[in-house]
Structure 1
């Protein structure tokens, strides 16, 4: 793949330095056009066949299944958000008093509030695994602490593949082995990893994987994906909509009410999952994500950021050890001498877009970025230090 040509897929002005895909990805030109075409299609609904409610959604599930190395595409459900997917999971779990649900420190809210409500309901406990205070081998020690936190009281471990602010990489394979030892469920939020970091359902075998679609999967805001494993095959969906029932494709027979749900994850799809605008854009996005491959994304991002990471560390910034973090997304803790207000103003003045999350300045890059983007960020930081 010629990475020099990938920037042409986007419409980002040369004077913009966008290191913020982890917040919201820019659309490819092809995704933008797919959305426009779909809007125009809605203007002539008599040209939309009834099969468009179903066939494009099936194709979408197949593409996402391919991305996560999943053989059964019907274990994929289209959802509107991570909170919807996590709420579906929590809705189908019963706890015993005294059980624990293990979470990471400062987990994204969509993967926290449902667990807080669930543990409160059953008089169970949240066990929050804190990141070690040290700046030496922090992510390695954090992984060890997570493994130690999983014991006979553990009912669920819910976490990301990486930490959404720091980029700390979690050893899901080892964590999955430990959860099996204690009959605990493993629920993964892949929003900040799937599409940019290799992930295999075959290898990890999580009980559920929930992903926002508007970040590293380059879909429109308001779309997402969920994989539900065998534990959830007979569960209750959050809503009763016409498309998650058996034989719903037979439109003339819809009022012959059907008590059976469609098999596997199809029972969990959101209402109006066949949204013409969203699905057309998502299909175009996943087509390109699959062509890129997550491995290529990691390699490219590592290559364009390696010099900047070294210099940032020399300036006194803390970044997780390279072997224990992702390269498409990483956070840096600034030296205490930095005036954060002045730094934010300088970034804004120079049209450099990053995220401030907790104690971290989060940088996230993709194929439309180059080394020059990191040089601009570095020079901006140096101007504040000086």
Structure 2
């Protein structure tokens, strides 16, 4: 079945300028009209605080957890928490890992800073070793070779593998299933930053069984800035949160008894939720965004992105440019590299002239299309690159 029969262009759901080609969802997603409306309604709600009942502090976040659970394939909703950022979610992880000198933590080379600095700090405090597995210095079979380097690096001294599903800079796709099997075999934890994949790339908690999955909400989840979601597995069931707040304690639903202090936390991973996670503006926006993502389905998003990029990318064959084999990259996020280097100033001038928005990360032109893009958008980008 043709992908266009499954999912058509969705640009009518956004307010993007007609004269702009936005191929930069990996930087920040545009806002859905429905999400914008939910935010405005949330702001207006504050006009009359009497309209906010005690149960409202809990009910909408519970629905949000269920919607995110649907996206990642779990009904263990009490393992899902609201966080303000990836760094916050990772801090809850590093705060609860017992690691010793001689053990190691593995990250990917040029990993996003919010999923690097916490591990660096943990190793400095504990005397453990941080190993960043760099990409191979080659254009040929780069994704396959990088995956193999990661698998080879995991050994009996590995305590944690902290990584993403796709690399944030160029969309390199990592084989999480094989990596999870290897970490299981040596008793290591797997902590995933899903910010550049969850919402656009299919993911199943039951298949991968990560110990933690941390996601910012403002990229592929189409939510607002300063809210995200995290899943914590059994390893973290009895950990210590990085903050102590009233709503994460047992029986906090009973406002009249809040002065009866509780030592126990809410069940599951709810102890790790950020204070004031009931946010009556951001939570409705995030919820509306997740409902739309679940209606679209990540598998359909991948197919659509493939359908609008495939022909344009074929034009790069036998040119100065190279793109990773589709087996080892996302369809929604990929890097275009120049074999002989690229003139950054000419690239910048080209993008400004054509009003094309992409990002340059490292030595890659990072392209991140979505359902509001068309094949013509990609053709315009490739037209320009081939002129450089």
In the superposition, the TM-score normalised over structure 2's length comes to 0.97
Aligned twin of 1:266: 270
* Regions of 4+ moved over 6 Å: none
Give the C-alpha shift of residue 5 in structure 1.
5.1
Alignment of 1:111-260 (within 5 A): 111-260=115-264
Aligned twin of 1:355: 359
Alignment of 1:303-342 (within 5 A): 303-336=307-340, 338-342=342-346
CA distance in 1, matches of 2:260, 2:349: 61
Structure 1, unaligned stretches of length 5 or more?
none
Give the C-alpha shift of residue 319 in structure 1.
1.2
CA distance in 2, matches of 1:176, 1:260: 32
CA distance in 2, matches of 1:206, 1:338: 38
Give the C-alpha shift of residue 315 in structure 1.
2.5
Report SS of the residue matched to 1:96.
coil
CA distance in 1, matches of 2:380, 2:214: 34
- CA RMSD in angstroms comes to 1.1
Corresponding residue to 2:291 among 287, 291, 298:
287
CA distance in 1, matches of 2:40, 2:385: 39
Flag the 1:205–1:337 CA change in 2: closer, same or farther, 3 A: closer
Aligned twin of 2:111: 107
2:358/2:366 contact within 8 Å kept? yes
1:318/1:333 contact within 8 Å kept? yes
Give the C-alpha shift of residue 202 in structure 1.
0.2
The number of residues matched between the two structures is 384
Q: Deviations over 1:270-320 (max 9, x none)?
A: 011000000010111000000000000000000000012111343221211
Report SS of the residue matched to 1:239.
coil
Q: Deviations over 1:109-168 (max 9, x none)?
A: 010000000011111101111111121111101111100000011000000001111111
Give the C-alpha shift of residue 335 in structure 1.
4.1
Give the C-alpha shift of residue 375 in structure 1.
1.4
In the superposition, the TM-score normalised over structure 1's length comes to 0.97
CA distance in 2, matches of 1:47, 1:96: 51
1:313/1:319 contact within 8 Å kept? no
CA distance in 2, matches of 1:57, 1:107: 30
Report SS of the residue matched to 1:264.
coil
1:61/1:76 contact within 8 Å kept? yes
CA distance in 1, matches of 2:315, 2:190: 37
Flag the 1:120–1:291 CA change in 2: closer, same or farther, 3 A: same
Corresponding residue to 2:78 among 57, 74, 80:
74
CA distance in 1, matches of 2:47, 2:355: 37
Aligned twin of 1:3: 7
Report SS of the residue matched to 1:327.
coil
Give the C-alpha shift of residue 382 in structure 1.
3.0
Flag the 1:72–1:163 CA change in 2: closer, same or farther, 3 A: same
2:7/2:296 contact within 8 Å kept? no
Give the C-alpha shift of residue 337 in structure 1.
5.6
Report SS of the residue matched to 2:386.
helix
